């Protein structure tokens, strides 16, 4: 058993780290994260961590993805050199996950390379939420716990009667995720047939399944520019859905995403989690609702620290 549990965080999402600490009943370990005049990052852990079980909460998320990756690696290295007994990287949003394979000649597999960085920096275990592709767990040279935010989302969706619900996958690749949600909600499943012409641009064609007269819940792992989401909502409306709700774990919401969501009348509500800080985006979009994964991550950290099962949290 480790002598103490400590939570460390960088500048990516300190609000989530604080919420996790509140759930666990502990304090954040002070950490200095500054920048030298030439742009180099400087990290210093402000407390003794020798022999401790340390969890570093740092999503590699926008708006400064590369800075957040580097901050994470520097914090891991600092803890390793400070003789922490075990170091766990808690990465609620894993950036570069969409680059998980070669799609063109002479292209890197960026998801693997970033995983190598994190492993080499000192992570002995990784906790993440809804990886874009499950096989990314195998890119790390340490155990990975990939949690599912659908458990948090489902608490919000149980207010709707199951007989009037249909869970919708926005594309063929997300069918497994949507099917799992439909099973938990005890409702039917539909799929939007989508043709992607260019990166970040998609055209929804038609719907496989019955959505007429129902509340359609579009389930995805992330919303980036919201092109896929808004096109899917429009086609669901044409097929007779009466209310359309989007649920996504990671609200990247880059570029024109907020403007697109506001302009899409077919879309009634967008539910995301706080794996990525939203800052002023909620104020700019009244359809946007954020639910917290702090309790889920807090329970996971507690179970890892005490040697209890993590799988019991999502099975």
What are the residue numbers of the active site? Answer: 194
Residue 30 is classified by DSSP as P
Element (H, E) at 201: strand 201-208
Count of CB atoms situated within 10 Å of the CB of 142: 15
- In the three-class reduction of DSSP (H, G, I as helix; E, B as strand; rest coil), residue 182 is classed as helix
Distance of CA 3 to the CA centre of its chain: 30
Cis? peptide before 63, omega within 30° of 0: yes
Distance of CA 286 to the CA centre of its chain: 21
**For the sheet containing 201-208, what is the strand order?**
201-208, 188-198, 165-169, 215-223, 243-251, 269-273, 288-291
Q: What is the dihedral of CA 151, 153, 158, 159, to 10 degrees?
A: 160
């Amino acid at each position: 058993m480790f002598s103490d549990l400590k939570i460390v965080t960088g500048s990516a999402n300190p609000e989530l780290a604080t919420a996790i600490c509140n759930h666990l009943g502990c304090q954040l370990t002070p950490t200095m994260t500054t920048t030298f005049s030439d742009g180099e990052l400087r990290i210093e852990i402000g407390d003794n961590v020798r022999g401790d079980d340390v969890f570093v909460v740092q999503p590699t998320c926008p708006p400064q993805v590369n800075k957040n990756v580097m901050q994470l690696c520097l914090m891991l290295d600092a803890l390793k050199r400070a003789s922490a007994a075990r170091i766990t990287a808690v990465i609620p949003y894993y950036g570069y996950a969409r680059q998980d394979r070669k799609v063109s000649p002479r292209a890197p597999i960026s998801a693997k390379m970033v995983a190598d960085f994190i492993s080499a920096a000192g992570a002995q275990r990784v906790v993440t939420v809804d990886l874009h592709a499950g096989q990314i767990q195998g890119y790390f040279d340490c155990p990975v716990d990939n949690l599912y935010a659908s458990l948090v989302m489902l608490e919000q969706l149980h207010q709707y009667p199951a007989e009037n619900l249909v869970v919708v996958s926005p594309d063929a690749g997300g069918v497994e995720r949507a099917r799992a949600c439909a099973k938990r909600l005890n409702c039917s499943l539909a799929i939007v047939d989508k043709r992607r012409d260019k990166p970040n641009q998609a055209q929804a064609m038609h719907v496989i399944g019955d959505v007429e007269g129902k509340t359609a819940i579009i389930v995805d792992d992330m919303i980036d520019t919201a092109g896929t989401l808004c096109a899917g909502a429009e086609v669901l409306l044409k097929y007779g859905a009466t209310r359309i709700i989007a649920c996504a774990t990671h609200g990247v919401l880059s570029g024109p995403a907020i403007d697109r969501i506001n302009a899409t009348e077919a879309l009634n509500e967008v539910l995301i989690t706080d794996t990525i800080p939203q800052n002023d985006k909620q104020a700019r979009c009244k359809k946007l609702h954020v639910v917290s994964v702090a309790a889920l991550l807090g329970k996971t950290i507690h179970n890892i620290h005490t040697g209890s099962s993590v799988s019991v949290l999502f099975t």
